[in-house]
Chains A and B, each alone.
Chain A
Amino acid sequence: MPNEKSRRDGILTDEETNALSQPIPAVKLSSYGEALSNKTRRFKVYFFVGSALGALFLLGYGLGGLDLFIVQQPNEASADGQLRQLRFIAGFVMLVLVHTWLLMRQPLETLLMCFAALLTYFMLSRAAHFMSLGNTGDDFWPRVIYVALQMTCVLLPLLLILEERRSLRRMWQ
């Protein structure tokens, strides 16, 4: 038994040396099936609904479909357009980060909390901005729909946090 002998002597075998000399990948991504295997059914539903909504929102913004909701006022600040662009990029980064974190099988709770806080900040600032512009008749309902859509985007990470906790509890049981 050379292995037993070498273990006794505290010397590594060739197999162990080879195994140790193998490069360790810095980032190891699993498949969606593996990453979602220990999650609850609701988590999966919320995750796919959230991803689809996020992707649609970004696609809508990219194609200019959201201009129907955010009609640029003649007196509206030029900086507001830049602000919207920045938030669009932030939304895209958030979507990518959630997927990457999930595939890296990292705990999602803190990340989702940060994103929920950021999305709440976006929603509140947009609502405050609409309020400061005043009631302009035709734009009222599109603005309400826009804020309601953003509210859905805030709710989804919160629901995901609840389901993430439930998934962890189930895993520990």
Chain B
Amino acid sequence: MIYRICEAAVSVFVELAACHVLLLHHMGGPVLQTPDAILLSQTLVDYRIFLILGFTFTYFYLKIAGKDVSRLLIIACTLAWFSFFEDMLAMSNVLFVPELFVGKLAQFSRPVFLVALTYMAIESRRSLAHA
């Protein structure tokens, strides 16, 4: 049950993040606050969304095929936590876009996403050990 809730939380974050990136592209440069943000959003946000979607589709494929998802979740979890620390420590004032409501939602749901993903990774590892 908790695993399903976590899956839902992760799915919501993925959708929000995808919507946010699409909106940023649609609205262009002026939405972003600083020249740093324009440069970094081009290099970081764009390919990160491909990464997130790639992991999501692979996860669903493995789930449907009945294969082990624990390794994928551990890798996704490592990358998610690292990119979170990267944003917090190195780019705290650069990538925050307060004007966009979807962006705000994505920012605020990020800690929930991280906790949910970590729980999923641990739970899948535990169930693999018991199998």
Q: Are A132 and B39 in contact (CB under 8 A)?
A: yes
Q: Are B75 and A77 in contact (CB under 8 A)?
A: no
Q: Which residues of B contact A21 (CB under 8 A)?
A: none
- Known contacts being A83-B90, A86-B89, A121-B82, is A114 close to B40, with CB within 8 Å? no
Residue of B36, B43, B86 ringed by the most chain A CB atoms within 10 A: B43
Chain B interface residue count, CB cutoff 8 Å, equals 23
Q: Are A114 and B47 in contact (CB under 8 A)?
A: no
Contact string against A for B residues 68-90, beta-carbon threshold 8 Å, 1 for contact and 0 otherwise? 00010011001100110110011
Q: Are B40 and A110 in contact (CB under 8 A)?
A: no
B112 contacts the other chain (CB 8 A): no
- Known contacts being A121-B82, A125-B47, A128-B46, is A79 close to B90, with CB within 8 Å? yes
B102 contacts the other chain (CB 8 A): no
Q: Which residues of A contact B44 (CB under 8 A)?
A: 125, 128
- Give residues 74-103 of A contacting B (CB, 8 Å): 75-80, 82-83, 85-86, 90
B11 contacts the other chain (CB 8 A): no
- Known contacts being A77-B40, A117-B78, is A82 close to B90, with CB within 8 Å? yes
Q: Are B78 and A114 in contact (CB under 8 A)?
A: yes
- A165, chain B: closest CB distance, angstroms: 13
Q: Are B36 and A77 in contact (CB under 8 A)?
A: yes
Q: Are A128 and B94 in contact (CB under 8 A)?
A: no
- Give the contacting residue for B43; candidates A90, A113, A132; CB below 8 A: A132
A128 to B86, CA, bound (A): 16
Q: Are B40 and A80 in contact (CB under 8 A)?
A: yes
A129 contacts the other chain (CB 8 A): yes
Q: Are A113 and B39 in contact (CB under 8 A)?
A: no
Binding site for B on A (CB under 8 A): 75-80, 82-83, 85-86, 90, 110, 113-114, 117-118, 121, 124-125, 128-129, 131-132
Can you show 30 pairs from A to B with CB atoms below 8 A apart? A75-B35, A77-B35, A77-B40, A77-B94, A78-B36, A79-B36, A82-B89, A82-B91, A83-B86, A83-B90, A86-B85, A86-B89, A86-B90, A90-B82, A110-B71, A113-B75, A114-B78, A117-B75, A117-B79, A121-B82, A121-B83, A124-B47, A125-B43, A125-B44, A125-B47, A128-B43, A128-B44, A129-B43, A132-B39, A132-B42
